[in-house]
Chain A
Amino acid sequence: MTSPLRSGSSRSLTPASVLAAATSAAQQTSATLADRGGDAFIRRRGRELLFAFYGALRTVKLYPADNAVVQQSLDELLNTSAGVLAHEHELELRATGEFLFINGTRLRLDLEHDSSISRSFSSLFRGCGIGLFRVREGAAKADWLHLLNVLNAVPPGEPDQRRQMVIDKLAANGVISFELGPPTDTEEEFREKSKEAAKRTYAQSVTLTKDVINSVRMGKSPNIKKIKRVVQGIVDQILNEETSLIGLTTLHDYDEYTFTHSVNVCIFAIALGRKLGFNRLQVYELGIAALLHDIGKTRIPLEVLNKPGGLTESEWRTMTNHPWLGVLSLFQMHPQDIPFRALVVAFEHHKKIDLSGYPKHIRPREMSIFSKIVAVVDSYDAATSRRVYQTTPLSPADVLHEMRTNRSRGMDQVVLKGFMSLIGHFPVGTCVVLDTMELAVVHAVNPIAEAVSRPIVRIVGDERGHLLHPGHLVDLNERAPGATAHARTIIKIVDPDRHGIRVSDYFV
């Protein structure tokens, strides 16, 4: 089996290398050897290449070969591929399930804007039984034209047969610049590695956050270097494969609520920021702000913070001081290290969009978009968590429904919409019953935008009530071969406790 990830390359930075290093290190040592930098090129150029390939496929289908539009799109494709080859000395595209890799680097395509292209592309490759596509140096414009024509005209049939037809036709035309191979069964492998890396990132994040929060509680100033490393790790993980890390937010560790909540809010905020179109450095800043949003709670007496049951009015007032106490805590840092945007978020995350809520303010201000994002994800994670005073958390779907319908909560509706788009109708971790009477846990939102009500789920119980562990993933958007109806559909949301299911076990 060939890895879909980078192989035969001298480049050392790949998801594979990062994950391999992380996984093996997790097993053998606490230190991690990882790689960074350089991926930016392939991500950017890879996306351009995909667009050029897709554009050329369409124009070749629509116009004769000598048409200027066709020539232009071929030139673009040729230039883009030549650019990658010149820089990387190889050009290898692999389609693995929903993921696309170029030279071993997973393309991070924006669901909102790129999904249709990515989907069409994946569908074409899957339909033609192509999992591997390699371009050799010296591929000419005429070679590309042949390939595009063949791909556009390949007759229906079994994927393996269709791939062979493509290979044969290219060979008959003397085109030797491309190498085509079957799909490799590595999606699960990629998922597993991502999951391992996510677990490691999550564990590191919680531990370091705990260090930071505890040291602040002891009167020290927050260690911004540690915080930055935590957030950098989460950003990398989210940009690479967000599902695994979002799944881990279902952990909601009862004893470690303060720390896991901060990390969860950070994860959700980064994923939502990405969804809303923030760039890498913006989501980084957002992540730092999200991780520190409750830092003011370090100044709230533990007996109030951890009090089971309801708070007295006086205790509640003390509790509502935490946003401005957070400002004071963050101002304790060395002035050159103060993350100013985090200060704003710490202050504003309990404010409503009309600036009511708490704490009060005097000087005119506008609520930061960062605060609006953190306000949404903070509410969601808090409501779905088990805490000392909330032993029965609300179901993710109920929380989402409440957030959407109850405008008096004062949340930004556009941000909220983005959040719903991120986690889908059935948020990750929701326990559901399918029309097959199987029990399932929502694993990820469906990457196909239109299939928002059909997430990818893990079947955790069969139709006879047997619980399964670890279960298996199914895409609820899939139809049985030849069938028009979907193979499985959610019919109801259930309380996992009633079925003896601990949702987080399926993510850990």
Chain B
Amino acid sequence: MTKSASPAFGSSVVQPARTTTAREAAPPPPPVIPLIEVLLRDLSRAIRTRQLYLPNNPIYQRALEAVGASFRKIWVALPELVLDISEAEFKWDGITVSKDEGKADSLPWLFYKDGVRGLTLLEGFEKQELLTLMDILARVRKATTDEDDLLTLLWEQEFLCFHYRYVDFALEGVPDLALREPPVQTGAPEQSPEVAPEPPPTVSPVKMEDFDSTLYFLDEHEIEYLRVHVQSEYQGDLRRNVLAMLLDIFELEADGEVREEICTTLERVLLHLLYTEEIGAVAYILRESRIARERAVSLDGAHRDRVSRLAEKLSVPEVLSQLLATLDASSEITPKEDLEALFRQLLPSGLATVLSWMGKVQNTRLRASLEDAVLTLAGANVAELVRLLQSPDPVLAAEAARRAGQLKTTGAVAGLAKLLSAAQPAVRLAAVNALTEIGSPGALGHLADAMEDADRDVRVAAIRAVGTRGHSAALPKLQDVLFSKTLRDTDLSEKMVVFEAYSGLAGESGIPVLAGMLNGRRLIGRREGGEIRACAAYALGRIKSEAAVAELRRSSADKDALVKSAVNKALRGTT
């Protein structure tokens, strides 16, 4: 290591030997310079792609691989890579290996502007520390003057294979400690004018009890005590801790200016927490501010209103939509319990926004988390939920219907019944499913109307619900469906649903109808079609009585293969 003058700073500077002074030594082997040039190009490219693409993006991955390959070539030629940095250049051994003039975001400038004047990279840097450095550089590129600079961020990392020389601008102009004159002149001991005979023993004597050395060293329990405390310090929810302090101050300090400041702070912090998707902390603010509003001593109307408006603001469609859009786009998944806690604090007016969003959410993990949270919100706001059933927005109405079903909201039956005449099949289907889940006689009573719906899925859902729920009042209507021409035109699976429901509701009393369909002939002597007859056989098989079996046996050798197969299956199922 040599010392050389650094004219840039006018100070004696410790420099790595090769960086500047080794120019007098033998010139570097020719292949090294191009290798370094390529490496720096690859490095710049990788840093750019890091800012443009997600980590799993192939372009970024390729850029990283290229840097890795370049580094491997360097390590064959050099034990370490020492670079000097100027405003627009990287230099190796005094030779410019990268020049990037006129670009405000060039790599040399990015280092230089924050004071970094030299880098030394060691083998292994490219494995993990490169990624860390790239993250820091990406952050520094976007940083404002008040935010952490490169030196501050680099310090926070413990790099093993990367080190840097720097000038610390933050410390410029700081004067030395003001040195005061010593009490006496230095040099040979002199008699102090103030030296007096030994003072009387009024000063503290040495306390011999302090010499118990066990007082000075931690035992195992004490070390464990510290370990546990530090661990719990880092496991605790720091956000909530400081928010609790702020809200405590709000409650305890009646000064209007203090409360005004806290309200402003809460609003600002709330926005930031929303931006950073710290949903649990947002929920905490909303919940605790409500409590603070109730408990605070001598709270005036203006501050009460400001605190109340925190939840109102978040329940505004634009704000809530923005939050949901952010969560949907985020790669992080918000914990379900945080979402539930947040939604519990929303005003009823927030329900419409959340329900509208349920149909748009792309992120499947978010959707799963949202499902329970939405239910919590809807359960807390049933009247609003029922009101939303009549929303002109079909997506919203359908989502409201789904939650009404999940919550078994009997108060929603009338609203759901109205939805059965909605124009959109999806809305009608949601209403049928909801009425089915509610399952009350009143709810099931409305399902009969849906058994002849124009939409196949709605019909199937309604008929299946009537059958599974054993809603016998719907039997006459179901029998009408059985004989309807529409049923003859449907697919086999729908037919089966109808016959299955019929057999379930009618039981033994349905055998004549089913036997007539399986074995009988119509007025002009024609039999029913094969699918209808097969379904009748299936339904008889489900009834299982002797009379039903007897009817099935009559057709066990039917010429229609479909019927014959269905009859035999039904018979096997009955034995």
Contact = CB atoms under 8 A, between A and B. Distances in A.
Do A and B pair up? The answer is yes
B162 to A, nearest CB: 5
B146 A223 contact: yes
A226 B151 CA distance: 11
Contacts of B195: 461, 465-467, 499-500
Contacts of A450: 213
Instruction: Give the one of A228, A282, A336 with max B CB within 10 A.
Output: A228
Interface secondary structure of B, over-half rule: mixed
B195 to A, nearest CB: 4
B210 A425 contact: yes
Contacts of B25: none
B368 interface: no
Nearest to A332: B265
A502 B180 contact: yes
A37 B163 CA distance: 4
B245 A282 contact: no
Interface in B117-157: 117-118, 120, 122, 146-149, 151-152, 154-157
Nearest to B261: A328
Interface string A362-402: 11011011100000000000000000000000010110110
Given A38-B160, A324-B249, A29 B9 contact: yes
B238 interface: yes
Contacts of B160: 38, 40-41
Instruction: Give the one of A8, A38, A224, A328 with max B CB within 10 A.
Output: A38
Interface stretch (A50-58, A73-81, A197-205): A197-205
Contacts of A26: 176
A469 B184 contact: yes
A9 B168 contact: no
Contact of A33 (B165, B184, B201, B206): B165
Interface residues of A, number: 120
B189 A207 contact: no
Nearest to A111: B217
Contact of A466 (B171, B192, B258, B262): B192
Contacts of B186: 469-470
B523 interface: no
B376 to A, nearest CB: 23
Contacts of A452: 213, 216
B272 interface: yes
Contacts of B201: 492
A414 B175 contact: no
Contacts of B207: 397, 401
B265 to A, nearest CB: 5
B242 A340 contact: yes
A324 to B, nearest CB: 5
Interface string A307-330: 000000000000000001001100
A191 interface: no
A340 B169 CA distance: 26
Interface stretch (A10-18, A136-144, A174-182): A10-18
B104 interface: no
B218 interface: yes
Interface in A76-109: 87, 89
A327 B238 CA distance: 14
Interface string B177-214: 10110111110011111111111010111110011010
A491 interface: yes
A25 B11 contact: yes
B572 interface: no
B9 A33 contact: yes
A347 B249 CA distance: 10
B339 interface: no
Contact of A324 (B6, B227, B245): B245
Given A34-B165, A336-B272, A417-B216, A363 B205 contact: no
A28 B251 contact: no
Contacts of B159: 37-38, 40
A347 B179 CA distance: 36
Contacts of B206: 490-493
A340 B147 contact: no
Interface stretch (B12-20, B427-435, B449-457, B563-571): B12-20
A425 B206 CA distance: 10
Q: How large is the interface on B (under 10, 10 to 19, 20 to 34, 35 or more residues)?
A: 35 or more
Given A12-B16, A467-B189, A31 B171 contact: yes
B73 interface: no
Instruction: Give the one of A9, A13, A33, A228 with max B CB within 10 A.
Output: A33
A21 B13 contact: yes
Contacts of A112: 217-218
Interface stretch (A64-72, A147-155, A160-168, A272-280): A272-280
Given A280-B158, A498-B196, A328 B168 contact: no
A35 B11 contact: no
Contact of B163 (A29, A32, A38, A508): A38
A66 B179 CA distance: 62
Contact of A343 (B158, B173, B245, B288): B245
Nearest to A42: B160
A280 B146 CA distance: 24
Given A425-B210, A501-B183, A31 B154 contact: no
Nearest to A20: B14
Contacts of B248: 360-363
B9 A31 contact: yes
Contacts of B177: 199, 202-203, 248, 251, 508
Contact of B10 (A28, A229, A368, A505): A28
B161 interface: yes
A200 B247 contact: no
Contacts of A501: 183
B365 to A, nearest CB: 26
Nearest to A228: B152
B252 interface: yes
A375 to B, nearest CB: 14
Contacts of A338: 242
A199 B117 CA distance: 25
A476 interface: no
Contact of B147 (A203, A284, A337, A490): A337
B218 A369 contact: no
Contacts of A462: 189
A356 B148 CA distance: 37
A505 B242 contact: no
B269 interface: yes
A331 B1 contact: no
Nearest to A21: B14
Given A208-B170, A229-B170, A347-B245, A369 B230 contact: yes
A156 interface: no
Contacts of B154: 36-37
B101 to A, nearest CB: 24
A495 B246 CA distance: 45
Given A204-B174, A362-B252, A365-B244, A467 B148 contact: no
Given A30-B171, A36-B166, A327-B246, A500 B9 contact: no
A306 interface: no
Interface string B253-271: 1000010011001001101
19 contacts: A11-B1, A28-B11, A30-B172, A32-B171, A33-B117, A37-B154, A199-B176, A202-B177, A251-B177, A278-B230, A324-B245, A401-B210, A404-B215, A417-B217, A453-B213, A468-B189, A494-B203, A499-B194, A500-B183
Q: Which 4 pairs across A and B sit closest by C-beta, in order of nearness?
A: A500-B194, A38-B163, A37-B163, A335-B272
Interface of B: 1, 3, 6, 9-18, 79-80, 82, 117-118, 120, 122, 146-149, 151-152, 154-177, 179-180, 182-186, 189-199, 201, 203-207, 210-211, 213, 215-218, 222-223, 225-227, 229-230, 232-233, 236, 238-239, 241-242, 244-249, 251-253, 258, 261-262, 265, 268-269, 271-273, 276, 288, 295
Given A10-B120, A284-B156, 12 more contacts: A10-B17, A40-B158, A112-B217, A204-B171, A204-B174, A207-B174, A233-B171, A331-B246, A336-B276, A343-B242, A369-B229, A502-B183
